């Protein structure tokens, strides 16, 4: 009888602890994976990133797939608002990384990128992504 009570108690304890939601701490880093060049989606991703950065969360924006097109100076007319947000984040200390294979796929060179955007490497991207308590979002 004691053993069945112990097993039941451990089951309840385990399932209760596993069901506790994870909440962001005041300074937890945010890693945003932006794969889009769609106007609304990219503005949402960058606007959210900027808002969290202003709340004190270190922010990394990883421009992936067509997201690299948003960061190209050649597309300044099309992405004026998004590029302004990127530059604000960079100037205030945020990290913006462009996927090198995506750049190659879409014909974006490192000299095409807005000033301050870094071309990704496994080390650079991994260091930002795998910091303790980092939260991730994708657009």
Which CATH number does the domain housing residue 43 bear? 3.40.1260.10
Enumerate residues 6+ apart whose C-beta is below 8 A from 46.
34, 61, 82, 85, 86, 89
**How confident is residue 20, by pLDDT bands cut at 50, 70 and 90?**
very low
Helix (H, G, I), strand (E, B) or coil at 62: strand
Enumerate residues 6+ apart whose C-beta is below 8 A from 87.
114, 115, 116
Domain assignment present for residue 3? The answer is no
In this prediction the pTM is 0.82
Domain assignment present for residue 10? The answer is no
Instruction: Write down the pLDDT at residue 41.
Output: 98
Domain assignment present for residue 18? The answer is no
Domain assignment present for residue 122? The answer is yes
In angstroms, the CA 3 to CA 7 distance is 6
In angstroms, the CA 101 to CA 69 distance is 13
In angstroms, the CA 45 to CA 33 distance is 9
The yes-or-no verdict on residue 116 having pLDDT over 80 is yes
In the chain, the number of structural domains is 1
Instruction: Write down the pLDDT at residue 26.
Output: 79
The domain in which residue 96 lies consists of: 25-138
Helix (H, G, I), strand (E, B) or coil at 56: coil
Neighbours of 109 (CB within 10 A): 11
């Amino acid at each position: 009888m004691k053993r069945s009570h112990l097993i039941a108690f451990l089951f309840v304890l385990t399932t209760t602890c596993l069901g506790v939601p994870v909440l962001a701490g005041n300074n937890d880093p945010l890693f945003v994976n932006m794969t889009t060049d769609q106007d609304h989606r990219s503005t949402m991703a960058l606007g959210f990133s900027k808002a969290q950065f202003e709340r004190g969360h270190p922010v990394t924006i990883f421009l992936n797939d067509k997201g690299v097109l948003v960061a190209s100076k050649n597309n300044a007319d099309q992405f004026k608002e998004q590029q302004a947000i990127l530059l604000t984040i960079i100037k205030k200390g945020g990290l913006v990384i462009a996927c090198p294979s995506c750049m190659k796929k879409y014909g974006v060179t490192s000299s095409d990128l807005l000033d301050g955007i870094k071309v990704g490497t496994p080390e650079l991207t991994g260091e930002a992504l795998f910091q303790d308590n980092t939260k991730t979002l994708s657009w």
